Amino acid sequence: MKIAILSSVAWRTPPLDYGPWERVASLLTEGLVARGEDVTLFATADSRTTAALDAVLPHGYASDPAMDGRVWEALHIAHALERSGDFDIVHNHLDWLPLAFAGSWRAPLVTTIHGFSGPDILPAYARAASNYVSISDSDRSAELDYLATVHHGIDLAEFEPTTETGSDLVVLGRIHPDKGTAEAIEIARQSGRRLIICGPVVDARYFAEQVEPFLDDERVIHLGSIGPAERSRVLGASAVLLHPIHFAEPFGLAVVEAMACGTPVVAYRRGSMPELIDEGVTGFTVADAAAAVNAVERAAALDRAAVRAVAERRFSVERMVDEYLAVYCSLLNR
């Protein structure tokens, strides 16, 4: 098959640190190339891939204040649209904007919905001639029809499993009220454990008022955004990943990456968390901070080899590629 992967261009593909949509697009692209498919990746010019790379942006707009993301996303999509007749499948990882031109794509359009920013964008999906894939059953809208649910996969080789570890807790993700960073600090305090915070500050006021005052380089440490190698080291050295989210998270790559290191998870029971976490095997889902504190010790005592084994079985990039190839073949009747 000749497949076009339309990546997000907020960051390069794959991202150096933060950039979950770009990371998934990269893993899928490399997995398809490894299977012998003819793949073109539409991404930023500084992206790294074994596929053919086609780019109009020099680099991700999120790292350059001089770039207007709306303009560059439109130019990026327009360029891919012009070339769409060269492909058997165009796979969109760029949210709703490509759907505004769904009638003009000259190849079947598959759209992975990485999450809805709100109900106001649903008309763009409901009116478009695209084929939808959800990343969890919990993130499906009753207004849309779906071809499949495909859970994200990760490159398990990037994450070193550990069977012996320290006592630290870790929280990984953007620092924002949705992610519950401040609650993670309180859960760690009540658990009597040190907390390592990893992730970019995306809500400056929240960080200044509810996170920064507690940073002391001893009990609460902020490492900022970390790349794959550092992420594996930090996750693997931690006893438990805390994930006290305040929204219905569509997936949660941090949860799966922790599992790949053998690190169990304590997460709030929202969104996709009950789908991702095998209760009492890879971690626990809880209702609130008090329940999270009670679950930390139980989670830390779980068998880390079993946690890694579940990650290998359920969240490998190979499984993800298999499922997307099945989607493509169903559309092309192959």
Mark whether 181 and 147 lie in a shared domain: no
- How many Å apart are CA 77 and CA 8, to the nearest integer? 10
Are 153 and 27 in contact by the 8 Å Cβ rule? The answer is yes
Based on the fold, state whether residues 327 and 309 are members of the same structural domain: no
pTM for the structure as a whole: 0.92
Q: Domain count for the chain, please give it.
A: 2
Contact 240, 300 (CB under 8 A): yes
| Tokens found for residue 153 | 């996969």
**What is the model's pLDDT at position 256?**
97
> What range does the domain containing 34 cover?
2-153+316-332
**Domain co-membership, 126 together with 206:** no
For position 231, what pLDDT does the model report? 92
3-class DSSP state of 273: helix
Shared-domain flag, residues 129 and 194? no
Residue 64 CB neighbours (<10 A): 13
Answer yes or no: do 72 and 102 share one domain. Answer: yes
CATH number for 294: 3.40.50.2000
Same domain, 185 and 104: no
Cα–Cα distance, 249 to 278 (Å, whole number): 17
Return the pLDDT at 334: 65
Co-location of 142 and 255 in the same domain: no
Q: Are residues 43 and 122 in the same domain?
A: yes
Which pLDDT score, from 0 to 100, does residue 118 have? 76
Please indicate, yes or no, whether residues 264 and 322 belong to a single structural domain of this protein.
no
Tens of pLDDT, residue by residue, the chain (334 residues): 999 999 999 999 999 888 899 999 999 999 999 999 999 999 999 999 999 999 999 999 999 999 999 999 999 999 999 999 999 999 999 999 999 998 999 999 999 999 887 778 899 999 998 999 999 999 999 999 999 999 999 999 999 999 888 999 999 999 999 999 999 999 999 999 999 999 999 999 999 999 999 999 999 999 999 988 899 999 999 999 999 999 999 999 999 999 999 999 999 999 999 999 999 999 999 999 999 999 999 999 999 999 999 999 999 999 999 999 999 999 998 6
Tell me what pLDDT residue 286 has: 98
Same-domain status, 25 and 128: yes
Q: Region of 180 please: left (phi>0), alpha (psi -120 to 50) or beta.
A: left
DSSP 188-250: HHHHT--EEEES-B--HHHIIIIIGGG--SSSEEEEES--HHHHHHHHHH-SEEEE--SS--S
32 & 148 share domain: yes
Given this model, what pLDDT does residue 97 score? 93
* 127 and 161 belong to one structural domain: no
